[in-house]
Structure 1
Amino acid sequence: MKSIPRQLINHHIHPCTLIFITDPYGREECDCCGKHIVPGMKFSCGACEFGLHVKCALFPTIDSEDAREIQHFCHPHTLALVQNDEEYGSEPRCVACAQICLAPAPTFRCSRSCDLFFLHKSCNVKLPYSSVNFKHPFHSKHPLTIKYLPYNDHIRTCDACFRGIDLTLLAYSCRKSECKFNLHLDCYKLLPSITFIGHQHLLTLFEKTADVTCHLCCVNCHNFILRCVLCDINIHFQCHPSALETIKHKSHLHPLTLTKSPFEFELNSDEEEEEFYCDVCEQKRNQKELIYYCAECKFIAEVKCVFSTVSSLFSEDNSFEKEISKDDVTEVCLEIQKWQVENLLLKRIRLHEGLQVLETKTKQLEEESNGVKKEMRRTEGMLGNLVGGSSIRLIKLVENNSQLRDLFNNPRIKV
């Protein structure tokens, strides 16, 4: 049997020395897996109020060179290294990246009967070592945890991009069960960084979302959206005052201009119908999306293919604000304020309606309670009259009825 060391130095989860202690009364959570530590044994750092299950502290990690079996916080069973192609089954997907797991990429799978749980070794290196207490500006009021819910019938939706979250994949979720806030692993990496005049929060640039309506032009959009997750404000990339109409990109000699598509020469082409291509990635593109275009060369670049250039220009100094007229700024501020006022008023109406329902129910319960109390006083008076106020006589009358006799021994019932 493997002996338990008295202390762990330079543990991969916690930098301080962890001391092995026995604690028969402890009920705190393990800072690795998030589950309650069974009273008895744990590794602890008192200064940091940090504690680990013995199993979580001593099990090999997925980045150990010789690990053939590991314990990971995102799954209740141990994970075993896939030894041959037959163990992969029918095109299993990694729970972190959603890509198909194929040899020779090192992959761990559930050592028991969970056929859906596969995890690339390379993907796990990018995951944190623990599952609990993550904070994110998209949801600052509660901590988040990483969850895997393959048997949950509830359809999870990412609250940042509004797209669905596959129930066989890992995702960040609010630790408050009543909150139901979720984030894709990829959306967790995004951070607000773009200023929008008239709005108190920074906006985040999303490459893809579910269909939303642009707050400024009222047109549906789903690609390259500037979004405030906290306030649910969505703006077309091209509607933002700082969206540059012309950029320089390494993929082309000439400047590229933000332009609507498709073009007439594309529609009149002899090529196969509805095949529109990006000249940067040479892949098919959506004909209805804006593109960056060189009219001289008929060079077309999707926004996503020049994304790094565009996003870096967004984060540069705010010199573009000098080119925006005072009237434009005032109009944008008024639009934002109008939208916020409308939403707050609608919320207030819903809260008022809910309060009225609760007040009505409370009044009904009070009336029922008063009626019950009145009837109890009446029966108490009738009993007193029948037995002449003598409790001994009352007990004697019902001594042969076990159910009534038990009432006298029940401290919660006054007879």
Structure 2
Amino acid sequence: MFRLFEGRLQFVVHVKCVLEYDSLYTIIDQENGDRDDASDSSSSIRVIKVNELGEAMKVHHFDHEHDLVLGDKIKGDDDRACDGCMLPISIPFYYCSRCNFFLHKTCAELPKIKHHWFQLPAITLEARNWRLRSLCDRLCSGLFYFGVGSNKFCLRCAAVPYTIKNEGHQHVLFLDRKCEGKCNGCGHNHKNFGAFRYKECSFSLDFACITLPLEVRHKCDRHILKLSYEDGEDDPEQFRCDVCEKKRDAYRLYYSCSTCDNSVHSRCALGGYPFLKDGTIFSKFHGQGHFHVNYIGKVVDGYSYCSICGKPCQDEVVKCTKCDYIVHVDCRDFSANF
């Protein structure tokens, strides 16, 4: 819990609660003075050029072969995502003038080694082409922090604080590693690392819903859609998605425009795999009747048919670079790659 002492906020934990999870603590040898020397100051960038104010205008990031330049303008029709956190790009940002690579300034300046409240010891920033099962349990591209054991943190999960004030709920939410039941945001069962909740009520959110972007753009509306939550007190029959026109659960997170009175499922607003970059290369996949090893994930427009389920491919797919093999991402078995 948190408490105020002499004007400062302190973090207080029961000894029993700390010792319950060995990833939360490390034993210090008092005689030899052992300690974790990992520092949050290790830099991901090397500064090449600064302006008269000392601001880094040109840098080299460890995850890109070319130098990056600081930008402060976004074209009105640009639909760019940060190659670190995979969220829509916003100013200020660094970009590559030679290829399609963008990083939020905050993502570019993240330390390569940092401490995180979810576990000890420190976690390390690495560039991976794609990954499954971050704390949010999403298939995503970008940069990842890797910890001990199987813990992986996409940049969105790594940025989640220990306590959260969610706009859809009146209480401050804390991580409860033993939280069971269903998430109020998506309706899925909670994973083995728990969920964020308030102990006096049943409201809870998993990492996937905690890390949803607060604002998104969609072609169904000219305004920005904002993440929302209903109290479910009105007639459930009136809750409909304005994109797919199907029913929308009154107790689940969704995106809305108060000006146009539009309401959209989060999946309809974001797509099935919003954090998987178009053009992501998948390698070393075998099985399911196909034995080539190079695939590329992309969105296609056309009438190709999934090689597994036989249905049309008009959304995210995995496509072989050597033949006509193409499957929905939902049909592809990724479990063999972990």
TM-score by length of 2: 0.38
Q: Name whichever structure is richer in strand by fraction.
A: 2
TM-score by length of 1: 0.32
Q: Name whichever structure is richer in helix by fraction.
A: 1
